[in-house]
Amino acid sequence: MAEHDAQSMKRGILSSAIVWGILLLAFPLAVLAGEPDPGRELYLKYCASCHGKDGRSDGPVSPYLQVKPTDLTRLKKENRGIYPLGKVMSSIDGTHDVRGHGDAKMPVWGEVFEKEVEGKKYPTLTSLLKVKVIAEYISTLQR
């Protein structure tokens, strides 16, 4: 009987993982539908003032910062030809410390995104998806 319970538990965990996987793939389309390029729109709204419209660290705010923003167009080149999606996402959401993002003057975007949808369904998931589409958009800026 215990073996049967263990198998049922494994199936339940697998089912949950599949549901979350589907949500991660489908949810951005539902949330961000109607925007021609949601990653670009979010990047321009939250990142371009420091990193620049094209990601070259030349945004209108960049001359006033103590720490020069990262040139986002070189991430793949500086990582042996592999775009570091996970590292970029963790830099955006605040789980990986970035000197410029750690300054009290610059928001940690993961926290900002969660506050924007506070009280709605799945705030953490929504925040993660925003971070993901921004990071995916940044991958298109690579030279």
Q: Tens of pLDDT along 91-104?
A: 998 886 655 554 54
Residue 49 has pLDDT above 70, yes or no: yes
Confidence (pLDDT) at 18: 54
Query: 109 and 134: one domain?
Result: yes
Q: Which residues contact 19 (CB under 8 A, 6 or more apart)?
A: none
Confidence band for 111, pLDDT divided at 50, 70 and 90:
confident
Confidence band for 51, pLDDT divided at 50, 70 and 90:
very high
Query: 55 and 42: one domain?
Result: yes
Query: 44 and 106: one domain?
Result: yes
Sign of CA dihedral 21, 22, 25, 29: negative
Query: 73 and 123: one domain?
Result: yes
Range of the domain at 97: 38-139
Query: 74 and 16: one domain?
Result: no
Query: 132 and 65: one domain?
Result: yes
Is the CB of residue 25 less than 8 Å from the CB of residue 130?
no
**Separation of alpha carbons 59 and 50, rounded Å:** 4
Confidence band for 52, pLDDT divided at 50, 70 and 90:
very high
Query: 84 and 50: one domain?
Result: yes
Query: 14 and 65: one domain?
Result: no
Q: What average pLDDT does the segment 57-79 reach? A: 94
Confidence band for 108, pLDDT divided at 50, 70 and 90:
confident
Tell which wins on pLDDT, 102 or 79.
79
Query: 55 and 109: one domain?
Result: yes
Confidence (pLDDT) at 110: 86
Confidence (pLDDT) at 26: 47
Retrieve residue 89's tokens: 């996402």
Contacts of range 80-85, beta carbons closer than 8 Å, 24 or more positions apart: 83/139, 83/142, 85/135, 85/136, 85/139
pTM for this one? 0.71
Query: 113 and 44: one domain?
Result: yes
Query: 59 and 5: one domain?
Result: no
Euclidean distance between the first and the last CA atom of the chain, given in angstroms as a whole number:
59
Sign of CA dihedral 103, 111, 50, 97: positive
Q: Which residues contact 87 (CB under 8 A, 6 or more apart)?
A: 79, 96
Query: 23 and 63: one domain?
Result: no
Taking only the tens place, the pLDDT of each residue in 14-40 is 555 554 555 455 445 544 555 579 999
C-alpha pair distances (Å), 12 with each of 5, 6, 25: 10, 10, 20
Number of domains in the chain: 2
Confidence (pLDDT) at 105: 47
